[in-house]
Chains A and B, each alone.
Chain A
Amino acid sequence: MSLKTIIRISIRYILASRGSTLLVSLIALLGVVLSVCAILLTMGVFAGFQHALKEKILSTSPHIIVSITSEENIQEYEEKLSRIKSIKKAYPVVIYQGIVSKDGSLQSVSVKGMRPSDLFQKKDFFVEGTFKGGVLIGKGLADIMGIRVGQEITLVSPVGRSTPFGFLPKVGHFRVDGIFQTGTFDQDYLTVIMSMSLATEFFGSQWQLYGFEVYLQDPYKAQEVKDKIEKVLGANAIVRSWIDLNKPLFNALQLEKVGIFFVLLLMVIVASFNITSLLFMKVKEKTRDIAIFRTFGMKKKEVAMIFLFQGMTIGLFGSLCGLLLSLLGGYLINEYKLVRVPADVYLMDHVPVFFEPSDVIITLVGAFFLSLIASLLPAYRASKTSIVEILRNE
């Protein structure tokens, strides 16, 4: 018997549903549609958030950080880096640890020293003011400490000097020239930037990091470029890409996404129970037809397939409708910015929806597979139906 005939019978049985069977069919279908839609939209919001966050980080933070371990001439390294084609720009930096003090409040910060020429290039970076030879502070730090452009802050270096009265930290007063925002917590809340010469003059040679902030043509090739840099600079450099630096954040987001996926998958499992009850109803309703098919030579597995296909059709159709509904939902969410979040916390005022192909495939295959599982028991029951018992009961 051809598969075409089995599918034809299955489809007709679905379409010919009446009364309570029709109602249960619609409930089963709606269950699959809504659960698939809910999963896809939730995964879409998660993926959208991750993408937006990534873009934000990539647009404002260095893609690769190179830490030089030996104190050779930094220009030599800069030249070596400039020869790597994928690198757009490599800024030499020196980073120290320090404490910012303002009106009695203290905050431990990283003090980054950069070349003034490089700072002038970072125009999008400033929220207020610009570099004039003083210091620049992150927006978060400015907010929590109440610092404004033009005010003076006190920087304390933990590397001080020993005196007859004990250890004395080095203290300096600097004018705030500008406030910047990158979108990353570390930079916005815990970083002060000044010229490299001023930084080395104030902090000396006790730096925490001496090296480069590297920006790439294609930030998604960071791992590849990282390998190249390691090769070129050898053992003198410790190279970390933005992927390495943000791994804990993205791992946490991914873990959360996977967790939510499995919780939402329970909805599909519950929806597939509807398919099971529907098919049990159908088997009961069609016992006479089953007896006829079997009398005219249909094999047990072919009878089972008629009911399996019904479950699979509902699963497939429901999943596809769920996909369409989620695409529509995604469009509306993106178009009307429906998922709004506090911009100062999340670096974005709304979360866009982004459908990862892998999420869509896993959800659709999962829903279809669960529908198949849900159909197995009723299909088995149908195949085991005794012809004579049906005929005798008529």
Chain B
Amino acid sequence: MSEVIKVVNLKKVYKDGTKALKGINLTIKEGEFCGLMGPSGSGKSSLLHLIAGLDRPTEGSVWVLGKEITSMEEDKLAEFRKKNIAFVFQFYYLLEDFSVLENLVIIGQMAGIKDAERKALDILRFLRLEDKAKHKPSQLSGGQMQRVAIGRALMLEPKILLADEPTGNLDLEEGTRIFELFKHLNEEKGITFVVATHNTELSRFFSRIIKLRDGMIL
């Protein structure tokens, strides 16, 4: 299996002086279902943001699918992200002014998918949310919102899916359902997953666990 993510001596110090990452070295292979585990403030989110190219490291480099993204120009990086990486957040971050279907369609249109609406409906059907297509995100439960966020990520047909505490706002039962969905997508579609969580009860799903503390891998 080929390397899809390679992190070399990654350090991140925020403007306020917070040292989030203190020299991370990491390699993730294609098709892995990888868990980033650690307490709050251990650097899980910072590492995911850097892997996704949402932020620039203070030092070190990130390679995704063989390309060094840390030195990539912003618009090229946005284009690269659109083609390869999708992100799922703890707080879902759905577009409140748009319906569930539109949340997916807009992302599909952004990615240049021709029949974005049909694809969005297919994904909603797969996620068992087709009856919620016309609903606004505020009319959904937490679990449903997270499934819509996953659906939105799937619109991009990503090779890598990064999830930052995707079950952080859900109860265990709903969280387990989300992880089962991730696992299914990982096995069926071959998507590489890197999921940050501090929920140890869900660790059984991971094929590999990376433990972080104080910005370093244990």
- Which A residues have a C-beta under 8 Å from some C-beta of B? 1-2, 4-5, 8-9, 12-13, 16, 288-289, 291-301, 387-388, 391-392, 394
Complex Cα distance, B52 from A388, in Å, reads 11
- Contact of B112 (CB < 8 Å), options: A1, A300, A391: A1
CB distance from A164 to the nearest CB of B (A): 103
Complex Cα distance, B21 from A341, in Å, reads 80
B188 within 8 A of A: no
**Which residue of chain B has its CB nearest to the CB of A289?**
B95
Complex Cα distance, B78 from A299, in Å, reads 6
Would you call A294 and B78 a contact (CB within 8 A)? Answer: yes
Q: CB within 8 Å of A: which of B63-104?
A: 74-75, 78-79, 81-83, 86-87, 89, 91, 93, 95-98
- Contact of A2 (CB < 8 Å), options: B78, B91, B109, B152: B109
Do A298 and B95 form a contact, CB below 8 Å, given A388-B49, A388-B54, A388-B55? no
Do A296 and B112 form a contact, CB below 8 Å, given A9-B106, A12-B98, A391-B54? no
Residues of A within 8 A of B49 (CB): 387-388, 391
Q: List 18 A-B contacts (CB under 8 A).
A: A1-B109, A5-B109, A288-B93, A289-B96, A296-B81, A296-B82, A296-B110, A296-B111, A297-B82, A299-B74, A299-B78, A300-B74, A300-B75, A388-B54, A391-B45, A391-B54, A392-B14, A394-B91
Size band of the interface chain B makes with A? 20 to 34
Would you call B95 and A292 a contact (CB within 8 A)? Answer: yes
In the complex, per-residue mask of B105-132: 1 if CB is within 8 Å of any chain A CB, else 0: 0110111100000000000000000000
Interface centre among A1, A295, A388 (most CB of B within 10 A): A295
B212 within 8 A of A: no
- Contact of B110 (CB < 8 Å), options: A13, A293, A387: A293
CB distance from B97 to the nearest CB of A (A): 4
B196 within 8 A of A: no
Residues of A within 8 A of B79 (CB): 297, 299
Would you call A13 and B91 a contact (CB within 8 A)? Answer: no
**Which residue of chain B has its CB nearest to the CB of A296?**
B107
B194 within 8 A of A: no
